[in-house]
Structures are given as C-alpha cells and as structure tokens.
Amino acid sequence: MPEITLVEAVTLALARAMAEDKEVVLLGEDIGVDGGVFRATDGLLARFGAERVFDTPLAEAMIAGLSVGLAAQGFRPVAEIQFTGFIYPIIDQILNHASRLRTRTRGRLTCPLVVRSPYGGGIRAIEHHSESPEALFAHIPGLRVVIPSSPRRAYGLLLAAIRDPDPVMFLEPTRLYRSAREEVEDTGEPLPLDRAFVLREGGDITFVGWGAMLKETLLAADRLEADGIGAEVIDAATLKPFDTETLFASVQKTGRCVIVHEAALTGGFGGEIAARLAEGALTSLLAPVARVAGWDTVIPGLRVERHYMPGENRILEAARKTLAFA
C-alpha cells in the first residue's frame, strides 16, 4: 500500500466517492481550477468535469444554501469552506435548514451534504485561519461533527460522511495535512461514524483528544510510559454523536481522565465530555477530570501562536496532577 499524507487521503476519498456515485458533487472557492487552497481537490476537475467540480464566488452562505438545495434534490454535495475562520456565515443554513430537513419533513427528505474545512492552528497563519469551532457545530441537533487525526482515518471517515443520509461537518486539521504519511489502501471501505478509536491501551490514566492534538497527547503518553505509567489514548473522531461507551469503558479501567483540545477552554467540547463522565461514570473516577485546552482568547497568529496551542508539557502537567490525586 502507498504511504500518503492526510490531504492526499482526502483527495483519494473524494475521487472514490465520485467514481462510485454520480450524485456526488464538489463545490467551493477555488476548488476547481486551482484544486483548493491546500490542493485537496487537485486533479478532480480534470477527471470528473465542470458539472461535478465547480468554483463558487466568495460567499460562504451561498455555498451552504446551494448545498442544502442540491441535497434536497437527490445530490450528495461536498462543500469546502477555505478556512474555519470563514465558516460562521453558513451557520444559518446549517442550523435552520440542513440539520432540520429530516424532522421538518417527517422523514420524507434528508440532507446528505458534507461541509469540509481546514481546521485548527499550528501553521502560524494570520487571524481567521486557525479557528477551532467544533463545539459550536456539535451543539446543533441533527448534525454530525467529524474530525480525522490520520490519513487512514481521514479516508475512511470521509467516505462514511459522504454516504451518510444526514449532514456532516468534516473538519480537517490543517497541521496534519502534510506532517505525516500512512499506508492507505483505496478499497472504498468506510470507517464507522459515531465511534471513537483507542490508539493506545493503558491502565493508569485515560487521555481523550481529537484532531492534531493527538500528536502531543501520544508524546505525553510515551513519556509517562518511561515512568512506568500506562496511558490509554482515545481519538474521539466523531464529536457528535459522541461515543460515550468507549470513554466509559476506558475510565472504568483507569479511574482518571485528561481531555485535550486546542479550542478555548470555556464552552469547549471537553466540558461536554467531563459532564458525561460526571453523569455516567462518577463512581469509577479516582480523581477530578482535567482539561487541557486553548486559552480563552482569539487564537493569535504568526509566532505568538505557539503560546496558545496546548503542548506536551501542559498535558503531562495535567496528567501528573491527576495521577497524584488521592
């Protein structure tokens, strides 16, 4: 199997989905001729034609509205928003229409659309290019929120998202686009949505993260292992609906949990996970649940960004404090 990057895995999944289903169409700013700002759709215009891969004006609300209309008429649109900092104008269409179409029509219509967007920090971009708004979208009933953390998971989860009958927000960690390679076989096999992945097993503490933050989390787990501490690392992957079963099974074994995300702490999805632990696994906990997150400020750009992003040392500090609680 060839080793490819995460962004190449996205391209591979899009091409597979389009080859298998003529109703899959791609739209977004500069995704056709230029192949997207990160080249995630590179070569797809030439392969599938302008009727299925088309550039749009710089109008995110229009992209979302057009996608809802296409989905309601039997297409499976995959819309790209260039950066999540530009994604907020689509909330009206996603919240008031896409996520409600099934219930509004009593199941007669569904809205099988996917919104893809580069997501998160780590590339030292300017303001509006490094947002982490996953909690905003996770709060919308009827909308799935999926965040891959590796090329293989990007391929399988994107295929599953495109085939899903309901809308999916698919956030792609920009920092991971070209930072690592992994063997990915183009079999067309999806990965299950709504399921978390246990990346590493351990019996002393549970780490929960998603997207690019899993890199630092796994490094912290390596350092704990050197001290004889077994850390279990869970990739949430789908935040909505969240796989509580996998989380509870891990915490029942370890008794301790640290949640890691780069979005701001207040209102972040880590708070939802902590609440679920309090409601459903409180008697298994041996220490308070800890959260390691971004600061409660707009993520700064350029060289200042590194002071915002949660790092390996902050994760380790939270883990050791949790482990020391008696």
Distance CA 94, CA 56 (A): 18
Q: Yes or no: is domain 197-324 CATH 3.40.50.920?
A: yes
Q: DSSP labels for 66-94?
A: HHHHHHHTT-EEEEE-S-GGG-GGGHHHH
- Check residue 158 and give its pLDDT: 98
| Catalytic site positions | 129
User: Is the per-residue pLDDT at 326 higher than 90?
Assistant: no
3-183 CATH pick, 3.50.50.60, 3.30.1450.10, 3.40.50.720, 3.40.50.970: 3.40.50.970
- Check residue 101 and give its pLDDT: 93
Query: Closest Cα to residue 271, out of 284, 283, 257, 285?
Result: 257
- Do 196 and 223 contact (CB within 8 A), yes or no? no
260-303 per-position pLDDT tens digit? 999 999 999 999 999 999 999 999 999 999 999 999 998 887 78
Provide the residue ranges of all domains of the chain, joining segments of one domain with +: 3-183, 197-324
The token pair that represents 24 in the structure block: 């899959």
Task: Read off the pTM.
Answer: 0.96
222-246: average pLDDT: 98
